[in-house]
Amino acid sequence: MDPIQILLNGVLAPAVAAGLLFAIGWKAWRKTGDEADGRWIGSLAVAAAFALGFLLMLGTPASFLPDSEHTPTGLDWVLWCSLPCALLAPFLARPGIPFQLLRMVLGAGLVRLVLSSQFESTWVGQAGLNWLAGLTALFLVLWTLLERLASARSGLHGPIVLWLFAAGFAILAGLTGSAKIGQLGGTLAAALGAAVVIAWRKPGFQLAGGAAAMVSLLLFSLGLNAYFYSYTPAIDILLIASAPLFALMPVLLHKHWSVTKKTIASLALSSLPIGIAIGRAVVELLNEVDEYDY
């Protein structure tokens, strides 16, 4: 696919789809001050944009076709799960132990589906249980961090930091040989870019209550594919995944700061692990080019 098609199918179309749904939910045409609570549509906007970008760039997976004998791949499962999870996310994003347990069940199911070939051929017995427990715990940590980040402050803060997170992952995946996964990460970043525009228009805008949960679910699933089925190193994925923790530091430690100051500090701090991961990937890529030339 040429760059123009990638731009149209993987960036512009998903951004427009997400933007329209966000605008409907938050009634973006109303004047500032006349706010509507559109959190209910956030997860659907993110999932619909992702699914649209997936289908436009990669086409309909063979496992989706009637009477198909193809086994769904890890990426197929991400698409299969996106829209059902979009309906569940607002419900599961609620506080309380019962909802935490339900999120754990969802995370375990997601890990088992996306990495089904690993569980069936490599991880047998106790090894499979250990991987399932560890990866489910990582999923819950990522969900909690992104939800906390999205709910910390309304307006531009949450959307722009989550956009940086998704864009960083997309660049990393593309640089480390996971081109398809990088394109899908770019689709997610495009949806969050639309959220940034709506947040600029509607100061009360938030990604909490479903959208942030959907972002965590999709990025976690893409990260699993990037490491286990492609070439992205685990250390770089973990560096990107640590970015929300860095972004939360100004919010939690400097509550007296202005919103603008917190946003700038969050962007600067979260850029550190993202920049290190991307820098490592660039160095590795340049080394491979030098070896090839030699």
Tens-digit pLDDT profile for residues 186-221: 999 999 999 999 988 888 888 988 899 999 999 999
In-domain check, residue 166 = yes
In-domain check, residue 211 = yes
* Closest by CA position to 224, among listed 146, 77, 111: 111
Instruction: Compare 31 and 147 and report the one with higher pLDDT.
Output: 147
In-domain check, residue 141 = yes
Q: What is the pLDDT of residue 191?
A: 96
Report residue 130: phi and psi, to 5°: -65, -45
In-domain check, residue 162 = yes
In-domain check, residue 246 = no
C-alpha span between 276 and 284 (Å, rounded): 12
Q: Which two tokens stand for residue 74?
A: 């890890």
- At residue 35, does pLDDT exceed 80? no
Q: What is the pLDDT of residue 34?
A: 55
In-domain check, residue 71 = yes
In-domain check, residue 8 = yes
Q: In the Cβ-directed half-sphere of 74, how many Cα atoms lie within 13 Å?
A: 22
Q: Which span out of 23-37, 88-102, 128-142, 259-273 was modeled with the highest average pLDDT? A: 128-142
Residue 273 · residue 242 · CB < 8 Å: yes
In-domain check, residue 80 = yes
Q: What is the pLDDT of residue 189?
A: 97
C-alpha span between 14 and 5 (Å, rounded): 13
**What predicted TM-score, i.e. pTM, was given to this entire model?**
0.92
Instruction: Compare 294 and 115 and report the one with higher pLDDT.
Output: 115
* DSSP conformation letters of 52-114: HHHHHHH-S-GGGSTT--PPP-HHHHHHHHHHHHHHHHHHHTS-SHHHHHHHHHHHHHHHHHH
Q: How many domains does the chain have?
A: 1
Other CB atoms within 10 Å distance of the CB of residue 57: 21
Supply the range of the domain harboring residue 218: 3-232
C-alpha span between 176 and 167 (Å, rounded): 14
Residue 146 · residue 212 · CB < 8 Å: yes
